[in-house]
Amino acid sequence: MGGPVSERALVLAPRGRDADVACRLLGEAGLIGRAVPDLAALDARLREGCGVLLLAEEALHGAELRPLAGWLRSQPPWSDLPILVLTSRSSGDQNPRAARLAAFLGNVSFLERPFHPTTLIGAVESALRGRRRQYEARARLEQIEAAQRELRAANDRLEAAVAARTSELREANAQLREEMAERARTEAALRQAQRLEAMGQLTGGVAHDFNNLLMVLSGGLAVLARSPDAAKRARAEDGMRQAVARGASLTRQLLAFARRRPVDPQVLDLAERLDAIRGMLGASLGGGIEVRVEAEPGLWPVEVDASELELALLNLAVNARDAMEGRGVVTLSARNLAGENQVAVTVTDTGPGIPAKVAQRAFEPFFTTKEDGKGSGLGLAQVHGFARSSGGSARIGTAPGGGAAIEIRLPRSRRRLAGPAPAAAPSGPPARALRLLLVEDSDAVAEPLTEMLGHLGHRVRRVASAPEALQALAEEPADLVLTDVMMPGGMDGVELASEIRRRHPAIAVVLASGRADAAQERARGVGAPLLGKPFDLDTLAGAIARATA
C-alpha cells in the first residue's frame, strides 16, 4: 500500500509553450509543476508519484491511451488521482468529447481555455487538497493494516501459547492420573500389608484357639468310639458341633483380614459386634491382658465395613497391649453422641498414655515409636483411614486412669438392623429322593458328605473331577449335582456348573467351597446356590431345596 507522498503536478500540454507557462504559474504560487513531453513518458512519471495531473485535451487526440488507462485501473483502493483537463471553448452548452473523457478518466475536472491564472492555481490547489485526504486515508489504512498484522501475530502467539499450555495441561493431567493410580495402588498395598501385619498379630491366638478346637474334636471322637454312656456321647457331639462352628468363625475372620476386596458397608449392632470381638481379642492379646466391653443401652446402629471395624479395633488393642508391656486392661466402650448424631467407640488402656508430640503424628502412615522390626506404623493409619472413609473421625485422648484413649466416631445409621435369620427347618426326609451326583476330589470330605446326603434320603454317586462328572452324566442322568469349586483336572466347579447348564439344562447344581467369599460372584453368574464349608445338615438340605424348587 505504501508509496511516495507527492504533491507535484504533472503537466502534459504538447503544443506551444502551454506546459512551460503552466509550470511557471504553479511555481510562482509555491506549487511544484513538472512538464511531461508525451503519453509514453507519462506512465513512468506517474509511478514516481503525482499529486494532480494536468492534461491538455489535444494531447489525447489520436493517442494510445491504454497505458494511462491501465495505470488508472491499477490504483490502490485509497487512490483516485485528480485530473484537470484543459479544454477548448465549445460551441454549445456541452462538449461531447469532454463527457467521453470524464467516463474514461474517472476523477476529472475540466478547465476551459482561456482561463485566468488564479483559476488554474485554485483548481490545482483544490485537487491537491483532495489528494492529501487520500494520502491521509492511506496512512490510516496502513495503520489499520499494521494493527491487524500485529493482532494476527498476537493471535498466532496466543494460539501457540494456548496450544503449548494445552499440551502441558494434557501432560500434567496424564501425569496426575498416573500419580492418582499409583497412589491408589500404593494405598491398596498399604492396606494389604497392614492386614497381613494384623494377621501376624492374630496368629498366636488363632493357633491356640485352633489347637483347642482340634482337642475338642479329637476328645469327642474318643468318647464316641469308647463310651457306652448316651449322655456323654450327646455332650461330646454337642461340643464337637460347637468346635466346628468356632473354627468356621475364626476362618472367616482370617479371610476377612487377608483378602483384597472393596469396602462392604453394612448396618451393625455395635454392642453385639463388640461382644463378638472380645473373644477374638482375648485369644490374640495373650493371657496378661484383660479385655472388657462397656456398651451403653440403646446404642444406635452404624453402617460400616465389619471387617475394617474389627481390624481397626484389633490394631488399637495390639498397640495398647504393647504399651502396657503385655499386662493390663483393654476396654472397648461405645456410647451415643446425641448432639452430633454419632456413635463413639473408644479403646482405652491402663498404660502410660501417649505423649502430646507423638499424638500429633500418630495417624501418619509408617510413623511408629516401636523398635525396628516390631511395628510398621500402619496400624493407627488404618484406624484413621477407616474412620474417615466411614464418614467419621478418629482422635487421641487420655483415659481417666492416665492411659491412652483412642476414640473412633462413626455416623449414626438411619437404616434398620436386619432381623434375625429365620430358623432352619429340621432336617428330615426330603419331599422326594433325588438322584444326586457328588463331585469331590477329597475322600475325607466325600465320605461324610455322602453320609449326610444319604441321611436326607438321596441316592448318591460320587466322582472326583469335572471331566468324570460330565462323563457320568452322559451315561446316567441325575436330578442334582453337588460339586466342590476347587478341583483338579483343568475345570473347576463353577465351570462345570456352566457346562452342565449348557448340556443338561434340567439338572440342578449346588456349589460348595471353603472360600465362599472368593467364589460368590462367579456362583451368582451361573445361578447356583453356594455353600460355604463347613456346613451342617440343615444348611445342606436348604440349599438342595432351593436348587430344585
**Mean pLDDT across the stretch 509-524?**
81
Going along the chain from its start, the domains and CATH numbers come out as 9-115 (3.40.50.2300), 268-411 (3.30.565.10), 435-548 (3.40.50.2300)
Q: For 459-484, write each residue's pLDDT tens digit.
A: 999 999 999 999 999 999 899 999 99
Q: For 80-104, write each residue's pLDDT tens digit.
A: 999 998 887 653 345 566 667 777 7
pLDDT computed for residue 421 by the predictor: 47
**Mean pLDDT across the stretch 163-190?**
86
**Mean pLDDT across the stretch 483-503?**
89
- Label residue 423 by pLDDT band (50, 70, 90): very low
Phi and psi angles of residue 374, each rounded to the nearest 5 degrees, phi first: -110, 10
Q: Find out whether 260 and 299 touch, Cβ atoms under 8 Å.
A: no
For residue 259, pLDDT beyond 60? no
The three three-digit cell numbers of residue 420, written as one number: 434375625
Measured between alpha carbons, how far is residue 14 from residues 7, 11, 95, 380, 408 in Å?
A: 22, 9, 21, 111, 113
**Mean pLDDT across the stretch 101-112?**
81
pLDDT computed for residue 473 by the predictor: 93
Q: Considering only residues 451 and 399, tell me which one the structure prediction assigns the higher pLDDT.
A: 451
The three three-digit cell numbers of residue 252, written as one number: 472367616
Q: Considering only residues 217 and 151, tell me which one the structure prediction assigns the higher pLDDT.
A: 151
Q: Look up the pTM and report it.
A: 0.44
- Sheet hosting strand 530-532, strand order edge to edge: 459-463, 435-439, 480-484, 508-513, 530-532
pLDDT computed for residue 9 by the predictor: 93
Q: Considering only residues 503 and 196, tell me which one the structure prediction assigns the higher pLDDT.
A: 503
pLDDT computed for residue 418 by the predictor: 60
pLDDT computed for residue 3 by the predictor: 63
The three three-digit cell numbers of residue 446, written as one number: 466325600
For residue 204, pLDDT beyond 70? no
Q: Considering only residues 133 and 375, tell me which one the structure prediction assigns the higher pLDDT.
A: 133
The Cα 37–Cα 426 span in angstroms is 134
For residue 107, pLDDT beyond 60? yes
Q: For 230-242, write each residue's pLDDT tens digit.
A: 877 787 777 777 7
Our separate counts of H helices and E strands in the chain read 15, 17
For residue 526, pLDDT beyond 70? yes
Lowest-confidence segment of 41-55, 160-174, 329-343, 418-432 by average pLDDT: 418-432
